[in-house]
Amino acid sequence: MQPLNGIRILDMTRALAGPYCTMMLGDLGADVIKIERPQVGDETRGWGPPFVGKPYGNYPGESAYFIAANRNKRSITVNIQSKEGQDLIKKLAGECDVFVENYRTGDLDKLGLGYNDLHKLHPKLIYCSVSGYGRTGPYAERPGYDAVLQAEGGMMSITGPADGALSRVGIPIIDITSGMFASTAILAALRARDLTGEGQLVDISLFDSHLALLTNVASNYLVGQKPPTRLGNAHPNLVPYDSFRARDTWFILGVANEKQWGILCDVLNRPEWKNDSRFESNRKRVENRTTVVDELNKIFSSENAEHWLNQLRKAGLPCGRINTVPEVFDLEHARAREMILETQHASAGTLKLVGFPYKLSNTPADVLKPPPMLGEHTDEVLKSLLNYSSEEINLLRDKKII
């Protein structure tokens, strides 16, 4: 038993933000039906290398990018540009609790598949729209891409070394967090429907998600009216909270309060720093950030990182190695937390997936379905949900509707 058993999602999303949202819901037990274009599918099927499995269509296999956000879904192909395809989507929406799409503003309205159209047909349907800039405002019709949003939303202005180039975050973090916000909002809308019996529109934008993600940095600006700057790996409000250079490599250390500062002074055999007017409070250390960091680097450079990490951990201070991606997936802790899962894929065989970040003791997430092949479940869904016969399905296929 999973918490979202009995909830069905009609997923008309592609790329990352929308698919990540629906994958989260599928992980928790929802039946996710992914609508894809015939012959082409979600464009991320071609975003590689790397690819796994056998070639099909125009693709040399299944892309790792597609695999990352599409487990626990059933794939069907529908040509939504055709009237019959649009009618098919409307029928399927009536069998679902949630409709999720990430088309550009107005595109689905032109096809009769916008919120107003589907809400009239199915008042209990929750309609989630994920877009670059939201469905209102002067930017509503702009396409939304993660890197562009990181630039326009301010993240690049605060990412990277203070004296280096502007940089985006190494993962599509705006897409991912938008998907997470969308899944949370959908769950809230489902709860609201329990109380009112009515569906509603959930409007999620990458732009809004980005501004929400700025959290403490945004608050620092809104309260203090001082534009934030790039600090590399440092923290805008805490010192020391940064990467430091040991004799052999870099590591991270975080000191979040005066007790921890005192412990660090003792570990480094610098008890006099506790009463040094430059360092005696976090506010003073922030004002004298460069001096604090320079003094610490002088000490840390005398020994290897593992020496300092052992000392710091023994004292209970937050610290860690700066691992590569292969190193982190090789950690015993990653295995203990089941953050690498395996499933059997129709073409690729045994497939490794990233594990679930949510651990529920009574209703755990599970991989019930591997990432689907394009159109793998078309016949199954049309027969089970809409009672289509094999002859009707073959006719739709002959007419290139599916």
Residues known to be catalytic: 175
d(CA 98, CA 184): 13
d(CA 78, CA 82): 9
d(CA 79, CA 74): 17
Which residues are within 8 A (CB) of 193 and not within 5 positions of it... i.e. 6 or more apart? 124, 126, 199, 200
124 within 8 A of 198, measured Cβ to Cβ: yes
Both tokens assigned to 301 = 């450079």
Q: Which amino acid is at 402?
A: I
Q: How many CB atoms lie within 10 A of CB 132?
A: 24
Both tokens assigned to 251 = 């590591």
84 within 8 A of 71, measured Cβ to Cβ: no
- Strands, E assignment, 224-301: 241-245, 250-254
Dihedrals phi, psi of 128, to nearest 5 degrees: -105, 120
Q: How many CB atoms lie within 10 A of CB 330?
A: 12
Which residues are within 8 A (CB) of 220 and not within 5 positions of it... i.e. 6 or more apart? 226, 228, 236, 237
d(CA 397, CA 402): 5
Distances (CA, A) of 6 to 54, 126, 130, 363: 33, 15, 23, 14
